[in-house]
Structure 1
């Protein structure tokens, strides 16, 4: 079993992961790290900081905040534990801290651990060379602090790269006059625009809309519950200690 420490264990995502991972035979949740008291402990001890951790750890899962993630990276590097990160909105400096940790331990950073979301990104890259235009609409709960989502940015990059490999020319922006600034969303480059929605009641959703002469293609993925991320996190945990290095995404683990 992989002895796993959950950083941000009192948060909504941490609690969902605690529930899902503790039910797996391959994972042993050995502790939850959070300055706040978790509602559920899943038979594991609660530590208010990484400095308080007093159990053996094989890997750390961190879905907290960017400033906390870098502390987890340093801790993992000094304790020989792999690190799985689902936090988005990292600065270049914070990402560099994770990359440095990858020089001594395995580090996997992914914008989305839902296998369906990863597959939808793959499908979008397949479709990208065949359509003139594409736009992304990402919808999340109102507690998400960054926009656009990391998943939409990764998807936009995959679309741009697929178009470039195919030699596809970017279609010009058709809108010439804007009554409201930014009404057409954010320009992610390569003709891809991203629209962000934040509403209570949502979890994580994304639509990738392709348009061509006389037809359209919509690829949609919905995470209705945070349990949708457990399988991908478990997959990352199974491989994070295979070798040192910094790895972006879990697409390479799906095959």
Structure 2
């Protein structure tokens, strides 16, 4: 039985994750952390800072907050040799290197842009398809309250595709559009023939399409998260796995 604290527990994702952990038979929700009181405490104590908890009472810290708070949560876990599962994105490569070097003993840290299993599988399928198509377009759709664009998931998908194409020696043809009537009409240029488009609309949750094209044919791979509960199962999986996976793990894929 693992004791879990959720940082960012008052947010929509935090509430979803707290519920998933509270309902898991082999996990115990022992606290929520946020600057404002969560709507539902799930019978767990609420505090405004992770440091208010006794480290000995916690096995895993789950963080779905802000980048600044997530940095503090990870440092707290490393310092106290606890485990961390983080759904906040935006860490620089240098930060990740420092993080990996600083982790001691059996402590594990999992950082993932997306905890929906289907989204991770989409990236696997996209990696398989990438070497066989000359051009790629990514379209990510999110709710209108999302402040960053493109999403961390879209950037990770683009990275996976670019690496697969580079390994296969795919030659990217020149961008066919030489004149944009409106700047940015072709989306953000990730490089190597990969363009990313971000859509923000009320009513959406999290969705992604990868469109591959080559002479005479195309392939579209799509994932839809219709409800935030789809992320709960992935977080619970990560909480279970991180306890036996020391060091830094990026993405959910290595845990599947």
- Provide TM-score, normalisation by structure 2: 0.94
Deviation per CA, 1:82-112: give whole Å up to 9, x if none: 0101012334565455435534521110110
- Secondary structure of 1:145's partner? coil
Q: Determine which of 182, 193, 196 is the counterpart of 1:194.
A: 196
- Aligned match of 1:99: 100
List gaps (5 residues or longer) in structure 2: none
- Checking the alignment, whether the CA contact within 8 Å between 1:88 and 1:146 is kept in structure 2 is no
Work out the CA distance in 2 between the residues paired with 1:199 and 1:75: 36
Instruction: Note if 1:184 corresponds to 2:168.
Output: no
Bigger CA drift: 13-22 or 240-249?
240-249
Work out the CA distance in 1 between the residues paired with 2:76 and 2:230: 28
- Aligned match of 1:42: 42
How many aligned positions are there?
Answer: 254
Deviation at 1:13, TM superposition (A): 0.3
Deviation per CA, 1:100-146: give whole Å up to 9, x if none: 55345211101101000000000001011111211000011122121
After TM superposition, the structure 1 = structure 2 runs for residues 54-203 of structure 1, keeping only pairs within 5 Å, are: 54=54, 56-92=57-93, 94-96=95-97, 98-104=99-105, 105-203=107-205
Work out the CA distance in 2 between the residues paired with 1:216 and 1:130: 10
Work out the CA distance in 1 between the residues paired with 2:246 and 2:103: 6
List gaps (5 residues or longer) in structure 1: none
Q: Determine which of 225, 228, 244 is the counterpart of 1:226.
A: 228
Tell me the C-alpha RMSD between the 2 structures: 1.5
- Secondary structure of 1:200's partner? coil
Work out the CA distance in 2 between the residues paired with 1:103 and 1:190: 38
Work out the CA distance in 1 between the residues paired with 2:68 and 2:94: 11
Work out the CA distance in 1 between the residues paired with 2:37 and 2:66: 17
Change (3 A) 1:34 1:157: same
- Checking the alignment, whether the CA contact within 8 Å between 2:20 and 2:236 is kept in structure 1 is no
- Checking the alignment, whether the CA contact within 8 Å between 2:138 and 2:209 is kept in structure 1 is yes
- Secondary structure of 1:137's partner? strand
- Aligned match of 1:6: 6
Work out the CA distance in 2 between the residues paired with 1:247 and 1:109: 6
- Checking the alignment, whether the CA contact within 8 Å between 1:101 and 1:107 is kept in structure 2 is no
Deviation per CA, 1:27-64: give whole Å up to 9, x if none: 11110001101000111110111122247000000011
Work out the CA distance in 1 between the residues paired with 2:43 and 2:251: 30
- Secondary structure of 2:62's partner? strand
- Provide TM-score, normalisation by structure 1: 0.95
- Aligned match of 2:248: 246
Change (3 A) 1:27 1:68: same
- Checking the alignment, whether the CA contact within 8 Å between 1:70 and 1:97 is kept in structure 2 is no
